[in-house]
Amino acid sequence: MRYCKIGGLAQDVSVVALGTGSFGAGKGEREAFSLMDRYAALGGTVLDTAQVYPPSDPGAGERIIGRWLRRRGMAQHMVVSTKGGHPRIASMERSRLRPEDLREDLLGSLERLGVDRIGLYWLHRDDETIPVGEILEVVCGFQEDGLIGAYGGSNWSRERLEAARIWAERAGKAAVAASQLGWSLAEVSGPVAYAGMLYVGEAERQYHGVTGLPLFAYSSQARGFFGSKGLAAFAGDEVATKSLAGYLSETNRQRLERAVRLAEEKGCTPNQLALAYLLGEPWPVVAIAGCGSVTQVEDSCGAAEVALTASERDWLQNGGERDGQAR
C-alpha cells in the first residue's frame, strides 16, 4: 500500500479507500466485517461512508462501521471519511446546508459511529444560493470544537472550491482539505446515479494540478467496467449493459481494450491499471473502491503497487503511440 498526506490529518491516508456505500443494504454486518478486516490487513486506512448511506436505510452503514471499529479496536488506526449535508432522498430538491441541518447530520454520524471525533468530514452536496462563508463558518466551528479533524467538499465545483479557499484564507480559518468527485479511466457519457453528482474533466484536473488540492475519486472503478462486466456489456450481455449504463461509449470501449492489453504485459488486472491511472497524478489522489468481495478488496488494494509511466497513462486515455511505438 502507498500513502499520502491530507492537510489537517496527522495520520497519512492510504491511496486506496474502501467505499462502504452498500453496507447495511446489499451487505450485512458479517460480510462488511470481512471486507474491512481484509482491507485493514492490506494496509488500508480510509473507510468512506456517509450519513445517507445506504439510501434505502440511511445511517445503517455508519452503524456497521462503528461496531467494527469497537470490536476490532481500530478506531485509532482508521480515518473515517463520512459526509453530511445531503438532501433527504425523498426530497432531493431541498438542500440541507443550513447550520441546523449540518449539526444534526454531524451529531448523528458521531453517535452512529460511536466516536468523539471524525477524521475527515465532507459536505456531501453544495448549494450555490448560500454564500460559501456561511457554510464553512459552521464546519470550521466543528473543527475548532474538536468534532472533526479536516473537512472537504464532495460534489463541489472548482469555482466553489476556489471561493472556499479564498474565504478561509481571508477569515483565518482552516482551508478545505480535499475534494471528492466522480472520476475513473472510463468517461461518464450518460446519467449514472443521483442528481448533483459531479465528475472530473480536464478543467478539474488542471485545477487540482495547479493547487495541489487532494482529490478523492468516487466511482473510481466505473461500476466494474474494467472487470468482466465491461467486456460482457460490449458483447451484448443485457445484465451487464444495464448495470454499466452511462459508460458504454466507443471511447471507453477502446480504453478497456487498451487496459486489457497493457495489463497482460504488466501481469496485473485491467481494474488495477484503471486505478493506477488515477493514482499516477503528481498531486494526491485517493481512489475510493467499492468492493463486493474479499477478492475485489485484494485486487483494488493491489493497484497501489502498479506503476505506470506518463506515456502509458497517456496511451490508456488517448491511444496513439506508447514509448515510441504505434499501438
How does DSSP assign 203-224, residue by residue? HHHHHHHHH---EEEETTTGGG
Per-residue pLDDT of 156-195, as tens digits, reads 999 999 999 999 999 999 999 999 999 999 999 876 666 7
- Contact (CB, 8 A) for 110 and 118: yes
pLDDT of residue 169: 97
User: 3-224+272-308: what fold?
Assistant: TIM Barrel (3.20.20)
Name beta bridge partners: 216: 180, 286
Q: What is the pTM of this model?
A: 0.95
Higher pLDDT, 88 or 38: 38
* Helical packing angle, 158-171 and 132-144, nearest 10°: 60
User: Residue 83: which pLDDT band, with cuts at 50, 70 and 90?
Assistant: very high
- The residue-averaged pLDDT of 265-280 equals 97
* pLDDT of 137 strictly over 90: yes
